[in-house]
Amino acid sequence: MYNFFVSENNRHGDYCYITDSDFNHIRNVLRMRIGDTFLVSDGKSSDLCRLEEFENEAAVAKIIERNFQNTELPVKIYLFQGLPKSDKMELIIQKAVELGVHEIIPVEMNRCVVKLDDKKRKSKIARWQSIAESAAKQSKRNKIPEVSDVISFRKAIEKSKELDLFIIPYENEKGMAATKDTLGKIRSGMSLGILIGPEGGFEEREIQAATGNGVETVSLGKRILRTETAAITAVGMCMLHIEMNVNGEKDEKVTD
């Protein structure tokens, strides 16, 4: 969500007038359209605004919610989750959404016990999406994360190339150096993918295919975690690091 600072002089009732370089940015760089929303801040609190019209030298925005809290992380976390058994996916989705994930992508892997046919898959995704929606509401998220369609492992590795960072928590990885190193690379505005294996874990050749594509494996400590614990730990670890060390900056796009 973009955030613009507007002085008291440029606020009249429910309307804010965005001028000068921010006006140029909104109109010519971001090419915003009437109806687009963004935050307007006076330096203390932020109001959620909707773009109403362009005047000659100002973008006019209407306040639609005062003291709006932006609860989104300044980094988009994509959780690629190896399909687990029974209703574990529901728990993973609920917790990952609370922790601030941007999107959840179920992944079919060689050691997945569950195989979903077309009909089952569609109804599962609809159910998972509704779980994401309730978790987003409960945790006061500004956006509802998407649960995407189930994809293959190969597709997940292809998608990893579109993201700024991509990690695979892997129990055979020793030491915390790679984990620390990855966290240190996270910057505001980045996209970060995390791929968690199913109960049976990754096959050696899956790991080889991923690392051959430049993906890093990282450790989540010396114990073997269940798939749902690994997912929640990995997202939680990244969320806390981002909250503590990565700041959302002015004018930066942090959500859709």
For binding to ligand SAH (CB under 6 A), which residues are involved? Answer: 169-171, 196-197, 200-202, 219-221, 223-225, 227, 230
Minimum CB–partner distance for residue 161 and ligand SAH (Å):
20
108, β-bridge pairs: 152
Q: Given the complex with ligand SAH, which of 47 and 228 has the nearer CB atom?
A: 228
153 and 107 Cβ atoms separated by less than 8 Å: yes
Minimum CB–partner distance for residue 91 and ligand SAH (Å):
14
Pseudo-torsion of CA 33, 37, 38, 40, nearest 10°? 100
Minimum CB–partner distance for residue 55 and ligand SAH (Å):
54
Q: Given the complex with ligand SAH, which of 185 and 250 has the nearer CB atom?
A: 185
Three-point CA angle 74, 171, 169, nearest 5°: 20
Q: Given the complex with ligand SAH, which of 60 and 178 has the nearer CB atom?
A: 178
* Nearest residue relative to ligand SAH (C-beta): 197
Q: Given the complex with ligand SAH, which of 137 and 174 has the nearer CB atom?
A: 174
Minimum CB–partner distance for residue 29 and ligand SAH (Å):
40
Choose among 256, 254, 251, 255: nearest CA to 41. 251
Q: Given the complex with ligand SAH, which of 209 and 225 has the nearer CB atom?
A: 225
Minimum CB–partner distance for residue 95 and ligand SAH (Å):
14
